[in-house]
Amino acid sequence: MKSIGIIDDRTDVLETTSNAIRSVLTDEFQDWSLIATQPFEKLDEYRSWIIENDLGVIVIDQKLNENKVKEKYFSPFLGNQIINNIWGNFKDLPIFGLTNYSVEAMNDVKAITYDIIERPKFTSNIETYVRMFVKSGENFYKLNRDKLERLSELAEIIALGNATDRDKTEAKGLQLDLQIPHFASDAISHEEYIRKLEKNLNEIKDFKSKIEDYIKKQNQ
């Protein structure tokens, strides 16, 4: 399922914004869901969160250190710091900022988001903004799907042992882009794979016959 991720430290605001977005999703985009979270304590956790939930777009509040998360910690990072980190891993992922400040006051943040949205404007035009989130997310998924399909073709070529160096380089680039563990650089030829497999099977057969001999001896 396609998903929008939303991050805010204030639980009541997070819930209301989520309900507002969900209401539009239910009416217009049934194949989309919404995943809400308070800020994480460590930046690495955002990467896992995005991969686990296969997020296609993120909406994030800018001033994230107003409320303690789970009564334990204030977010050590502001929205723009988190965006910078996410884009280090997912450079095409659309991210929208939400703020109670005026956009003029957030000019430096504006430069690093798709758009920064003042909350009053968001409230007045929820449907429009949710459509914009979904559209950006669709583009992101499409881009990723195309890349995945190409990667799948390349994986097949590599598995058959027909890959050229150029194929392997392309596969590596795509894996980097898609955050998938590499295999092209470690890939071995088809023949070698079969040879190793046979060797392993023979070892197992040897081991099996040794066990059978041992059991026979014991029974005698």
Partner 1 sequence: MSKKFSIDARVILQLGRDSIKDHTTALIELIKNSYDADAKIVEVEIYSRETKDIIRVADNGFGMTDTELEDNWLRIGFSEKKKNKNSTLGRRKTGEKGIGRIAADRLGSNLNMITKSKNEKVIGIEVKWDEFDVDKKVVTDIELIELENPTIKIPQKEDELSETGTEIIIKNLRQEWTKENINDLYRELSFFTPLSHDDSEFQIRLINDIDPSIPKEVKTAIYEVAEIEVTLHYDGKEELIYEYKNKIDARRNKIRIINRDQFMQSEYAGSLNTGPVDIKLLFFPRKAALLEGTSFKLSDLRTFLNINAGVKIYRDNIAVKPYGFVNSEFGFDWMGLGARKAEDPAGISRPSYKITPNQLVGFVNVSRDENPKINDSASREGLVENEAFEDLRALILSTIRLLETYRYEIIKETSKKPEKKPAHDSIHYITEKLNSVVNDLESVKQYLSKHKDYKGSSISNTVIRVNEAIEETERTIEELLEEKRVLSALATLGIASAVFGHETESSINEFKLAAKTSRSYLSKKNPDIEIALIELDKAIQHSKIISGWGTFALSRVEKEKRVKRERRIKPIINKVLDQIKPSLDGIGVELIKEIENVVAKTYPMDIESIILNLLTNAYSAVPNSKRNRVIKVTLKNEYINDKKGFSLTVSDSGPGVAKEFINSIWDPLFTTKIGKSDQRSGTGLGLTIVRSIVDEMEGEITLNKDEELKGAKFNIWLPK
The footprint of partner 1 on this chain (CB under 8 A) covers a number of residues equal to 32
Show contacts with partner 1 in window 30-69 (CB under 8 A). Answer: 65-68
Task: Using CB under 8 A, pick the residue from 32, 46, 96, 122 that binds partner 1.
Answer: 122
Give strand pairing partners of 73.
Answer: 69
Task: Using CB under 8 A, pick the residue from 16, 48, 152, 209 that binds partner 1.
Answer: 16
Instruction: For the CB of residue 49, give the shortest distance to partner 1 in the complex, in Å.
Output: 21
Burial of 157 (0-12, 13-18, 19+ CB in 10 A): middle
| 26 versus 179: smaller Cβ distance to partner 1 | 26
Instruction: For the CB of residue 66, give the shortest distance to partner 1 in the complex, in Å.
Output: 5
Give me the amino acid identity at 1.
M
Give 22's contacts (C-beta < 8 A, 6+ positions apart). Answer: 34
Instruction: State how far the Cα of 19 lies from the Cα of 99, in Å rounded to an integer.
Output: 18
Dihedral angle computed from the Cα positions of residues 156, 162, 166 and 167, in that order, rounded to the nearest 10 degrees: 0
Q: Does 128 bind partner 1 (CB under 8 A)?
A: no
Q: Does 81 bind partner 1 (CB under 8 A)?
A: yes
Instruction: State how far the Cα of 5 lies from the Cα of 192, in Å rounded to an integer.
Output: 44
Instruction: For the CB of residue 170, give the shortest distance to partner 1 in the complex, in Å.
Output: 27
Task: Using CB under 8 A, pick the residue from 58, 83, 106, 184 that binds partner 1.
Answer: 106
Side by side, the strands of the sheet bearing 55-61 are 32-37, 2-7, 55-61, 95-99, 115-118
Task: Using CB under 8 A, pick the residue from 28, 44, 120, 200 that binds partner 1.
Answer: 120
| 17 versus 144: smaller Cβ distance to partner 1 | 17
Sign of CA dihedral 16, 20, 25, 26: positive
Show contacts with partner 1 in window 153-192 (CB under 8 A). Answer: none
Footprint of partner 1 on this chain (CB under 8 A)? 12-13, 15-17, 19-20, 23-24, 26-27, 65-68, 74, 76-78, 80-81, 100-101, 105-108, 119-120, 122-123, 126
